[in-house]
């Protein structure tokens, strides 16, 4: 957990809401970032998601890019932040409702989502290995669309490692 990043982020606008809290588009070092702000009651979900994202060899082009996690205390209440890459096209669910795609573009989406899921599920052996990870909440609302027309898997709040 990086304890200074939350103070450096300018919250711009809310872009989503769920059972865990809210998602905001923010600015950090001149770049757009996504900031998932967890309700205090969802600390276990924040902790689990942070732990999964910090797993060695977790980075993959089809898994949402993790930047940092932070806790921001403001007197009487605490905010739990998860900061990730921001993808302005939003979720696969919303994207497919308002976008006409040809077969090539659809295949690109499907293939990239499958690649991300494959990376999650794959155990990498060795001292710097990665356990297999089960997402446990994979749906079109938890898959984001990148600018290049590929997908990345998001929302690892229910994910578990296989040990």
User: In the 3-class helix/strand/coil scheme, how is 97-162 assigned residue by residue?
Assistant: HHCCCCHHHHHHHHHHHHHHHHHHHCCECCCCCECCEECCCCCHHHEEECCCCCEEECCCCCCEEC
> pLDDT band at residue 19, thresholds of 50, 70 and 90?
confident
137 is catalytic: yes
Instruction: Give the whole-number percent of the chain exceeding pLDDT 90.
Output: 87
Report the pLDDT averaged over residues 48-57. 95
146 is in an annotated binding site: no
Decide if 151 contacts 92 (C-beta within 8 A). yes
Q: Which two tokens stand for residue 37?
A: 């702000």
Decide if 157 contacts 49 (C-beta within 8 A). yes
> pLDDT band at residue 159, thresholds of 50, 70 and 90?
very high
At 1 the pLDDT is 61
Report the pLDDT averaged over residues 89-115. 98
Domains of the chain and CATH, by start: 5-85 (3.30.200.20), 92-161 (1.10.510.10)
Q: Which of 94, 102, 137, 155 is catalytic?
A: 137
77-91 confidence digits (pLDDT tens):
889 999 999 999 999
| Euclidean distance between CA atoms 35 and 14, whole angstroms | 9
At 73 the pLDDT is 82
| Euclidean distance between CA atoms 151 and 106, whole angstroms | 11
User: For strand 133-134 and strand 31-38, is the pairing parallel, antiparallel, or unpaired?
Assistant: unpaired
Higher pLDDT: 128 or 151? It is 151
Mean pLDDT over each residue of the chain, to the nearest integer: 95
């Amino acid at each position: 957990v990086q304890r200074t990043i939350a103070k450096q982020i300018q919250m711009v606008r809310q872009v989503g809401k769920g059972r865990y809290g809210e998602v905001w588009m923010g600015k950090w070092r001149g770049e757009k970032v996504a900031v998932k702000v967890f309700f205090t009651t969802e600390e276990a979900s924040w902790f689990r998601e942070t732990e999964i994202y910090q797993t060695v060899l977790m980075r993959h082009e089809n898994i949402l890019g993790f930047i940092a996690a932070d806790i921001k205390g403001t007197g009487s209440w605490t905010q739990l932040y998860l900061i990730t890459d921001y993808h302005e096209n939003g979720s696969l669910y919303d994207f497919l409702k308002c976008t006409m795609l040809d077969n090539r573009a659809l295949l690109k989406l499907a293939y990239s989502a499958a690649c991300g899921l494959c990376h999650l599920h794959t155990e990498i052996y060795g001292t710097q290995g990665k356990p297999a990870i089960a997402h446990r909440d994979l749906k079109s609302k938890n898959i984001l669309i990148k600018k290049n027309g590929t997908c990345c898997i998001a929302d690892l709040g229910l994910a578990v490692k296989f040990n």
